[in-house]
């Protein structure tokens, strides 16, 4: 499969650059000449402070920017492909990626729906079986939709009667989804098509004849306008989207977005109103047997003072997970007719661990907790009595436990750093756990071990970190080490299996994951401690992790690489500009890197202000300006070898963040270390990326580190 990069012959590019290109850079064995990147005189003023933005023009989606991207790829691609270890790494990635993988089964009316990948299929295939042990058949194979496999299945939702499945497709990695409806028996699509949708699933009416969904408004040119708010619509099967009925829109707040969900009993349209990771509300509207809205919208929770997650409604009582007044979270029961919080009843009180998710299956509440950054699952009766703790396969990560109040069985997935994801079933009544599907991975992971350590951050906070390494590892400071982090939006970094990480271990590497503040490892307090005016805590935690690894002789600066994606890309950009002397290489991927303008890209991006703040607010501007990677690149500084990666179709963290950062680094670089920008052209933020493209991407990143960290005689087998 050819690589989907915007390429240009290196020879043509170099001759076209002439003497007007940026200064050459290299690593002592290969000289690079970067594209000439114009620096404009553009200046913005924030609260009396003038801030230069010389690369503002790279925000434009036009041929000038596209040509610049092609030139950057024409530097990066030959450099990476010339690294001798790359082909060996790619071959090993391909070999180990080739193992069968299953998704979590979903049951509707006796039928079971699940995803399966035979190993090297570019996209997982949707299967259906008429019973749990029945012969499965292919319901939808996304690999047939486009030759390069860059059209991906986004979400799928079977109808309550099991006869239909609503599913979404993403083209080229975009977050935009186009929804279709397929007949399960015939495998044919119905004419229904829904557009202008992002981020949330559609939800079936109880009679399986309608879908509630949230959508953006339509622009005059026929595209969706994600600079505006969503609203909720009802679609009746067999009718065009133009006849859909709007059933709810927010008119009293400029940034909140509503997302619909039909309750398990089919009697309520539950509306979660999102205003950032720390601020949600729950409204509802009663609906009839055919899904038609009845009565007015009721604002059950309208305070927007905490997180509120709808779990289910039983006998007109809403069960809700919340962080209100309880940083670790609790589950409350709220009568549908409640007019004040005095009517709320604690069902599952706050525990010693962070409550991160909850479902209601088989008449019991399944509560997922985090204990020192690994999963713990407890099952409660509806009166709050602890029934049992689920016997998990190990100290790793679980997800799933979906189903209805009528189901006796539920399924979950388990994995850790050295255990490929397996699928398990839970008998909700008895607590019995049974293995359902286990992959056969073509390598022996027993040669490696994961340990958890705690280290002290700058302000004395104890921060946990997972370290995966060879069992016979010697601490002599010479091991190439990858330090990974995220630290934002209450998202915890838990043990998870990764083929690229396993190949890194085979190459002699150490893999470390720091559980930074800003994440959800220890509840809402841990999250808030890494937001807005306290965002620097996240970077201090990551820097302290690097210093600890060096002090404990796991590695040394010339052998230490840092990597992060999205908010983690911001993390890498911030620490490498604050402490360029500390790292041997940096891999910021699809990062949020211009903190003064991140919120201008879309309405969704603006909602990240719950963690980042806004440059419109003076105190938050000063905090952002102090760490914003694009604004803290200093000319003449020696920055570590850096590979910046992004994708042209990323409409979540738009690629101009990476463009600006790479341009600034290339202009400022004060030594021979390379600064490369690699841009994928048929990919987005990461979801739906085909297997072949993932393998190429990881081969590039690991090869870059082989060269940057001086990893001689790389072995790629255990």
Active site residues: 566, 685
Q: Which residue has the tokens 């890194």?
A: 504
Does an H or E element contain 421, and which?
Answer: strand 419-427
Q: How far apart are CA 220 and CA 265, in angstroms?
A: 39
DSSP string, 425-450: EEETTT--EEEEE----SS-GGGEEE
DSSP E strand stretches across 54-110: 101-102, 106-108
Q: Which of 504, 529, 507 is nearest to 516 (CA)?
A: 529
User: Are 469 and 449 contacting, i.e. CB atoms less than 8 angstroms apart?
Assistant: yes
**How is residue 644 written in tokens?**
């910046």
If one counts every other C-beta atom within 10 angstroms of the C-beta of residue 20, the result is 8
Q: How far apart are CA 393 and CA 385, in angstroms?
A: 24
Q: Give φ, ψ of 446 to 5 degrees.
A: -70, -10
Q: Which of 684, 448, 486, 503 is nearest to 588 (CA)?
A: 486
If one counts every other C-beta atom within 10 angstroms of the C-beta of residue 30, the result is 14
Degrees to nearest 5, angle at CA 188 with 180 and 166: 30
If one counts every other C-beta atom within 10 angstroms of the C-beta of residue 526, the result is 24
Q: Which residue has the tokens 């720091």?
A: 514
User: Are 450 and 466 contacting, i.e. CB atoms less than 8 angstroms apart?
Assistant: yes
Helix (DSSP H) and strand (DSSP E) numbers for the chain: 12, 41
According to DSSP, the residues that pair with 555 across neighbouring strands are none
The set of residues, in sequence order, having a beta carbon less than 8 Å from that of 414 and lying 6+ positions away, is 392, 393, 394, 396, 397, 398, 421, 422, 424
Q: What is the layout of strands, in order, in the sheet containing 364-371?
A: 354-361, 364-371, 374-381, 386-389
Q: How far apart are CA 210 and CA 242, in angstroms?
A: 15
């Amino acid at each position: 499969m050819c690589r989907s990069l915007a390429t240009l012959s290196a020879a043509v590019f170099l001759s076209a650059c002439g003497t007007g290109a940026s200064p050459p850079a290299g690593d002592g064995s290969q000289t690079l000449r970067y594209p000439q990147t114009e620096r404009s005189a553009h200046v913005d003023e924030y609260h009396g402070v003038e801030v230069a933005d010389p690369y503002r023009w790279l925000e434009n989606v036009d041929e000038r920017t596209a040509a610049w991207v092609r030139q950057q790829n024409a530097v990066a691609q030959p450099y990476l492909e010339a690294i001798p270890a790359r082909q060996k790494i790619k071959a090993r990635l391909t070999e180990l990626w080739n193992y069968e993988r299953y998704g979590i089964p979903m049951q509707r009316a006796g039928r079971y729906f699940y995803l399966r990948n035979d190993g090297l299929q570019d996209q997982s295939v949707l299967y259906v079986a008429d019973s749990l042990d029945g012969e499965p058949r292919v319901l939808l194979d996304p690999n047939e939709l486009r030759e390069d496999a860059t059209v991906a299945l986004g979400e799928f939702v079977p109808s309550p009667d099991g006869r239909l499945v609503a599913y979404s497709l993403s083209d080229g990695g975009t977050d935009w989804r186009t929804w279709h409806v397929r007949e399960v028996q015939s495998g044919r699509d119905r004419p229904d098509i829904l557009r202008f949708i992002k981020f949330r699933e559609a939800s079936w009416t109880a009679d399986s004849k309608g879908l509630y969904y949230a959508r953006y408004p339509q622009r005059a040119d026929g595209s969706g306008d994600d600079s505006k708010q969503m609203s909720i619509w009802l679609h009746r099967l067999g009718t065009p989207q133009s006849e859909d009925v709007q059933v709810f829109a927010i008119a009293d707040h400029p940034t909140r977005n509503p997302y619909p969900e039909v309750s398990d009993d089919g009697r309520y349209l539950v509306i979660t109103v999102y205003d950032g990771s720390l601020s949600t509300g729950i409204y509802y509207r009663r609906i009839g047997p055919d899904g038609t809205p009845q009565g007015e919208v009721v604002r059950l929770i309208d305070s927007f003072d905490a997180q509120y997650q709808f779990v289910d409604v039983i006998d007109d009582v809403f069960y809700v997970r919340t962080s209100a007044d309880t940083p670790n979270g609790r589950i409350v029961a709220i009568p549908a007719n409640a007019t004040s919080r005095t009517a709320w009843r604690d069902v599952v009180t706050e525990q010693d661990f962070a409550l991160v998710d909850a479902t209601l299956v088989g008449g019991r509440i399944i509560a997922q907790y985090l204990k020192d950054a690994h999963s713990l699952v407890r099952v409660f009766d509806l009166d709050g009595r602890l029934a049992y703790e689920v016997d998990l396969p190990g100290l790793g990560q679980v997800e799933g436990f979906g189903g209805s109040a009528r189901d006796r069985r539920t399924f979950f997935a388990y994995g850790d750093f050295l255990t490929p994801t397996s699928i398990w079933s839970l008998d909700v009544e008895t607590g019995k756990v049974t293995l359902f599907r286990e992959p056969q991975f073509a390598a022996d992971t027993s040669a490696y071990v994961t340990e958890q350590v705690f280290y002290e951050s700058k302000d004395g906070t104890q921060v946990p970190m997972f370290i995966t390494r060879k069992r016979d590892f010697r601490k002599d400071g010479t091991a190439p080490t990858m330090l990974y982090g995220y630290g934002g939006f209450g998202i915890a970094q838990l043990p998870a299996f990764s083929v690229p990480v396993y190949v890194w271990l085979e190459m002699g590497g150490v893999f470390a994951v720091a559980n930074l503040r800003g994440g959800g490892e220890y509840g809402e307090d841990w999250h808030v401690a890494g937001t807005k005016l306290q965002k620097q805590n996240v970077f201090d935690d990551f820097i302290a992790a690097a210093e600890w690894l060096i002090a404990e002789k796991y590695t040394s600066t010339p052998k230490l690489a840092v990597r992060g994606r999205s908010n983690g890309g911001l993390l890498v950009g911030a620490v490498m500009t604050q402490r360029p002397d500390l790292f041997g290489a940096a891999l910021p991927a699809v990062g949020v890197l211009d903190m003064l303008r991140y919120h201008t890209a879309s309405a969704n991006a603006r909602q990240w202000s719950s963690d980042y703040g806004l440059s419109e607010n003076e105190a938050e501007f000063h905090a952002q300006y102090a760490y914003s990677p694009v604004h803290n690149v200093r000319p003449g500084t020696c920055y570590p070898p850096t590979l910046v990666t992004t994708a042209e179709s990323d409409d979540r963290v738009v690629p101009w963040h990476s463009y600006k950062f790479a341009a600034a680094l290339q202009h400022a670089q004060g030594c021979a270390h390379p600064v490369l920008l690699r841009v994928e052209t048929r990919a987005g933020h990461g979801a739906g990326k085909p297997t072949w493209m993932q393998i190429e991407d990881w081969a590039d990143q690991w090869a870059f580190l082989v060269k940057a960290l001086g990893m001689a005689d790389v072995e790629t087998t255990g």
